[in-house]
Amino acid sequence: MAKHSLKNWNNRLKSPAYWWSTFFGIGMIKWAPGTWGSLFGAMAGYGLILLGFDWVMLLAASLVVTLLSVRAIDHIEKETGIHDSGEIVIDEVAGQWIAMIPLTFAGSELTLETIAYSFALFRLFDILKPWPIGWLDKKVSGGFGVMVDDIVAGLMAAFCLYYIL
C-alpha cells in the first residue's frame, strides 16, 4: 500500500519537524525512502560506534531519537492529517541503530559484512512485519505508532544478529 506524501504540505521545507523526520532530507528520495533511511542510519550508527559508543550509549541515542521523533511526527500529523508518510524515515534510523547494538560487542567483528547483516535483518523485519510488528503498525497511532514498529523490528534484528555473531 502506497503511503501518502507530505509534498502538498506548503510549510514543510520551513519546518524543523519535517527535516528531522526525513533525516535531513533522506526521506525525500522518491524510490524506497525507508531503505535509504535505514542505509544512512546504518552509516550514522557505524560512525557512532567508531566514536566509542557502547551498547548503552547506542540504545540511549535510539531512545532520544525516538522521543524527539514522536513529538516531531505528532506535529506533522497535526499539520497535515497524514499518518506515517513515506518521507518520514527517522523511525528507520532509530530501528537500525537498535539492530546494530550487537556490533558494539563485536570488537574485531565490526566489518562491512556485519553491518550489512544488521541492515538486511532490520529491513527484513521492517518490510515483512511479522507479529507483533504488523499488529503494532496497524493498531498504534500518532508519532509513537510510526516509531514503535521500527523499534520492535530493530529489537528482533538485534536478537538475530547477536546469535549470528
Global pTM reads: 0.94
3 — pLDDT class (breaks 50, 70, 90):
confident
Q: Using one digit for the tens of pLDDT, what is the confidence trace for 79-121?
A: 999 999 999 999 999 999 999 999 998 665 789 999 999 999 9
Q: What is the pLDDT at residue 119?
A: 98
Measured in whole angstroms, how far is the alpha carbon of residue 20 from the centre of its chain? 12
Average of per-residue pLDDT values in the chain: 94
Q: Is it the case that residue 1 has pLDDT exceeding 50?
A: no
3-state secondary structure of 49: helix
Length reported for the chain: 165
Domain residue ranges of the chain, discontinuous segments joined by +: 21-164
Q: Using one digit for the tens of pLDDT, what is the confidence trace for 63-83?
A: 999 999 999 999 999 999 999
CB-based contacts of 149, cutoff 8 Å, min separation 6: 91, 126, 129, 133, 134, 136, 137, 140
Per-residue CA distances from 61 to 10, 75, 99, 101 (Å): 31, 21, 13, 11
